[in-house]
Amino acid sequence: MIRRRQFIALLGGATAVLPLTARAQQGERVRRIGVLAPLPETDAEGQARIAALRKGLQDLGWTEGRNIKIDYRATAGDPARGHAFAAELVALKPDVIIVAAVSETLTTLQRETRTIPIVFTQIHDPVASGFVASLARPGGNLTGFSMFDATTGSKWLELLSQIAPGVTRAGIVYDPGSPSSKDLLPAIEAGAPSLGLRLFHFPVRNGAEIERAVGEFAAEANGGLIVLPGSVIVIHRELIVALEARHRLPAIHALRYFVALGGLASYGVDNIDLYRRAASYVHRILKGEKPADLPVQAATKFELVINLTTAKALGLTVPHTLLARADEVIE
């Protein structure tokens, strides 16, 4: 039997031989990071994005349970939840907040705090939206990564014409609450005449409106869809892809995961890369740099994805030139 005095001596000896790094970690300050995103962590895409952020942070020396704590909140496309969660995260007094995708949510965060550093991802034209003074010197407590430029809209139209040349009518399905829609629509409208396409606008706010809009559009022949990014669109992506298949509508999307679900094709930003890059700004802020001095960076990684299985189901033959340009072909 070990006497109490012997046990204390043994315990003291064990502590003495603990690795210095482990002992340092025990006294290391835990930094708090808030994340306000549209997709819950139970969503596959939501999981991929937060995993990329965690991996980026870990590569820079920040690990959950050791020196950081991440508080994750998802709006699920509901503005009311965005308001509530913005206030909730600010009340936790994190060292930095990451906000994704929805300009309205970023506006709410701005109202809640002008001091906590905020890193945004997937925000379209942050200067025009009034979030930063300039891309080079944002000023204030915001910086981050922008997503599309307006010319992307015309590229979606061109892609639809190339992959489905029989299309003469293009239905644009979009979330009217998404600021990016307001900028992307003019470019699409400007490019339609040269491609011989008639445009039909379908602003949608929920699943019922999406189903009604796609059904009405599909009632007439030779139609194809352009599906713009936005919270409502992302939340209902499985419904949208199912409707495209049901009505045999070729559709171009802004994001890869629509095509992984069975959509025809997509061209747009690699969102996972944006989350990975966001980790670098979180790291620099935690090390003492100010958001005002960190320039807003544009997306640099774009991807063209084509689903050949869907193309065959729709009776489409994808041009070899298009397949050669694709970053990924799903068969």
What does the pLDDT read at residue 27? 58
Question: pTM for this one?
Answer: 0.81
Domain-located, residue 109: yes
Verify that 40 and 121 share a domain, yes or no. yes
Segment 253-282 shows an average pLDDT of 94
What are 150-167's pLDDT values in tens digits?
Answer: 778 889 999 999 999 999
Task: Render 64-118 in DSSP notation, one character per residue.
Answer: BTTTEEEEEEE-TT-HHHHHHHHHHHHHT--SEEEEES-HHHHHHHHHH-SSS-E
CA dist., res. 8 & res. 28, Å (int):
25
**3-class secondary-structure state, position 280:** helix
Indicate the range of 5-19, 237-251, 268-282 predicted with least confidence: 5-19
- SS3 state at 308: helix
Helix (H, G, I), strand (E, B), or coil: what is residue 258? helix
At 13, the pLDDT band (50, 70, 90 cuts) reads very low
CA 204 to chain centre: 19
**How do residues 293-330 score in pLDDT, each as one tens digit?**
999 998 888 999 999 999 999 999 999 999 999 999 99
Residues 6+ apart with CB under 8 A from 193: none
Mean pLDDT of 260-278: 94
Q: CA nearest 197: which of 226, 161, 156, 249?
A: 161
193: domain CATH number?
Answer: 3.40.50.2300
Q: Are residues 70 and 194 in the same domain?
A: no
Q: Is 202 part of a structural domain of the chain?
A: yes
Instruction: Flag whether pLDDT at 279 surpasses 80.
Output: yes
Strand intervals (E) in the chain: 31-37, 68-74, 96-100, 118-123, 142-146, 169-174, 198-203, 223-227, 251-253, 265-269, 297-298, 302-307, 328-330
Average of per-residue pLDDT across 8-21: 40
Range of the domain at 79: 30-148+271-301
* pLDDT value at residue 103: 67
- 100-138 confidence digits (pLDDT tens): 866 678 888 989 999 999 999 988 788 877 889 999 999
219-249 pLDDT, tens digit per residue, is 999 999 999 988 789 889 999 999 999 999 9
Say if residue 277's pLDDT is above 70: yes
60 against 82, higher pLDDT = 60
CA gap 119, 256 in Å, rounded: 23
Are residues 295 and 242 located together in one domain of the fold?
no
β 328-330/302-307 pair status:
parallel
Res. 267: pLDDT tops 70: yes
Domain count of the chain? 2
Same domain? For 185 and 308 the reply is yes
Q: Are residues 105 and 166 in the same domain?
A: no
251 band by pLDDT with thresholds 50, 70 and 90: very high
Same domain, 47 and 82: yes
